[in-house]
Each structure stands twice: as C-alpha cells, then as structure tokens.
Amino acid sequence: MDSILICGETPLYGRLRVQGSKNAALPILAATVLVPGISVLHNCPKIEDVRLMCKLLETVGCQVKWENHTVTVDASGVVCGTLPSEYVEKMRSSVIFMGAMLGRVGEVSLKYPGGCVIGKRPIDLHLKAMEQFGVQTRQTEEGIVANAGKMKGAHIIFPISSVGATENTILAAVYAEGTTVLEQAAREPEIQALCAFLRRAGAEIAGDGSGRIRIDGQRTLHGCEYTIPPDRIVTGTYLLGCMAAGGEICLENAPAEELSAVFHVLKRMGAELFICSGEVHCRRTHALKSAGNIMTEVYPGYPTDLQSPMLAVMALAEKNSSMTETIFENRFRIVEELNRMGAGIHIQGKTAFVPGARRLHGARVTAQELRGGAALVIAGLAAEGITAISGRQYIDRGYENIAKDFETLGAKVLYEENSGKDSRQPVTAAAGKENR
C-alpha cells in the first residue's frame, strides 16, 4: 500500500493519544549499546526508523525484542563495530552509533549515512568532536573509519548548535577518561531525554537543556527501564491538521511545554488553545489569519520539522505570510507539490512567500521526505476533492499511522495500493472508506 487518499474539506473532531518521540527514541536506542546489560524502553513509536535502528543493534551483537510499544535491548554481547550499509544508507540517524560504538568497543566503521533529502547535513562537527577525544578518524569514498584508542575527556565548543553532533559527543564522552564539557550544545528536548536515560543507567551528566553540558566519564553503566517521551513534532503536525481542516481536537499525552513557539503562531492565526493535565485542546472555527513572518530556529524557537506542514496551513490564511528556513538549505522541496494543489508559494533565497487566501484542490502528489509528506497530508485535509499522496514510505519513517490517526479524528482517509498509475493523472477514486 503505497499511497494515501484523502477526501478533503471535512472538519476534525475527537481525541487522539500522541505517540512516542522518534527524535528521542533513536539516540536512546543507540545509547543502549553502552549498557552491558538489559535496557527496557517503553512508549517506543512503531515506525520505520525505529525498526531500522533495531536491525542495526542486532548486527552489532545486541538481542532485541519488540513487543507492542516496548523495546528490550540486551547489549551484553556487543562485539562488532562495523555497521552494515543496507541500514546505514537508509537512515541519517545511524551516524549517532559512532559515539556509542567508540565508547563500547573502541572502533567503528560505517558508510556515509543516508535517508534524507532536505539538505547536506554535513557530519564534520561529529568528526571534529571525536578527534578532540583523541579518536583517529579516516574518511574514504566509501565511508568513515574511526579508532578510539584511549579516549580522554575534552572541552568542546561547537561552532553552531547541532542536535546530532551533541548526541554523538555525549555518547562518546560517557566512557571517556575524565570530564567532558560541551559548550553551545543543542538544547532540544531530545537531548534532555537522552541524558535522562543515561543518568538512569548510571552516567554522571549535568546541564542538559542549558547549552553547557558536563559529563564525568568512565562510570559503570547498568540496565534500566525508561519511558520515551511524547513526540512534539507529531503533536504539532496534528494541531496544524486541525488548523487546516477546522474543527476541535484533543491530543492526549502531549508535550505542551515544548511547543511554546508553535502555540504562539497558532494563536496568532486564530486557534483557541486550552492546555490541561497533559492534554492540548485546539479549536479553529473561523477563517485563518496570517501567520506573519516565521523563522525556523534551534529549540526553543519554531522547529524546522514543522516548517513544511505550516506552509500548507499558511496557504489557507486570509492574507500573505512568509517562512524563512535557517536550519537546512533544501527544505522547500515540497513547495512544488503544494503548488500543484494551488498553494501559489514563491521561493526567494531562504524565504518562502505564501500569498494566502488560496483554495487548495486535490491532486496526485508525491512525498519526497518525512515532514514534506506530512505537509501534503495536511493540505489534503483542506483541499477540495481528492488528494492522492505517493511516497508513503517516507511518512512512515516518523508517523505510526498518520492516515488512521486523522481518520480517528473524522477525516476521510484510506490507503491505496500502487497499481502503476501515472502519479500526475487526476484522482478519480472515492475516498472515505474504512482505513485498513
């Protein structure tokens, strides 16, 4: 089943529980390599990237059991530092195995990570940080080879805030001799979740969330249980779906404290938001106001992962708005597909100008990456007629079942098997059947 069909212009109503965080689960799964015992992770999202991460764990000697939303990892038998290309090339997050493997077995060999088309995302910051521990790294046309020797703590100042480089450096520092201090470290909630897991396993870490993190290395880690926090990007996606389609929804287990920048924009556009006891209620019954000018920023600013979904909502607002992307240089790829639905977005440099007051119409469109695919789903919820979105595999990397979730909220959505149709032909199939 390769495509998602959406019959739009149906307001959303109902309740939905937010899944576990993809961006927290992946580095924590990599961190289990450092634990010479059993780690039990609850509330793991059942998504493709977690499945690939579990496969990587198995290839380096871990025993992995996945039951419902609990993943149990026994890393007592880790011996191999070579990561197979069949998984690494599919997933950008595989690079965070570097720090964990260097800490556990002293060496790592991996292909250049793949799985992402939204920009270059260079790994220079990762490698420079490893070298400050005394790690010898070598880059070839094939990939990266690194040998730890005896890692020693270091004072590392990142030139820019990088979530992936911060995660990798924390993982390496856990087993490095002495104290490591990270300056200008990423402050995202996912960093704090990784540190919380490592502390529960016995690591000595302080300062996460402040931009200056201290790790006292060479602590003996032990098995533990940890619950993955809810996904703030999924929460934002479903709130934006309500903004596009209209209606009133309640999201349970929602990390409201992590979404202040998003809430600020939604309220500016006319959303009524109510936050109580871990739930976020969102109501949109009137025409959307302009979002004004939004700029993506590192946390706690407006998240780049919700840039594409917001573009779809901006097109429906009464007046013009704009979005400036400061994190990734190629994250406007989805604009061409949104424009096929009538969005009328114009790109100039790093800024997308959205005219507003558009009436979106259904079309056959293609997801090329995760968050762009979510943007097409949101556009389809508001569009007149039927929208068919191919490239569902990209969306499945971060959402357990986005079609079923929106169907639970009253949308008319179903999956369509790929039958070799021209992706540019008009959609004539009926939507709104039971999602299976």
Active site residues: 116
**SS3 state at 155:** strand
Query: Other C-beta atoms within 10 Å of 255: how many?
Result: 20
Three-state helix/strand/coil letters over the chain: CCEEEEECCCCEEEEEECCECHHHHHHHHHHHHHCCCEEEEECCCCCHHHHHHHHHHHHCCCEEEEECCEEEEECCCCCCCECCHHHHCCCHHHHHHHHHHHHHHCEEEEECCCCCCCCCCCCHHHHHHHHHCCCEEEECCCEEEEECCCCECCEEECCCCCHHHHHHHHHHHCCCECEEEEECCCCCHHHHHHHHHHHHCCCEEECCCCCEEEEECCCCCCCEEEECCECHHHHHHHHHHHHHHCEEEEEECCCHHHCHHHHHHHHHCCCEEEEECCEEEEEECCCCCCCCEEEECCCCCECHHHHHHHHHHHCCCCCCEEEECCCCCCCCCCHHHHHHCCCCCEEECCEEEECCCCCCECCEEECCCHHHHHHHHHHHHHCECEEEEECHHHHCCCCCCHHHHHHHCCCEEEEECCCCCCCCCCCCCCCCCCCC
Residues 6+ apart with CB under 8 A from 380: 4, 6, 8, 341, 362, 387, 389
CB 147 within 8 A of CB 106: yes
379 near 401, Cβ under 8 Å? no
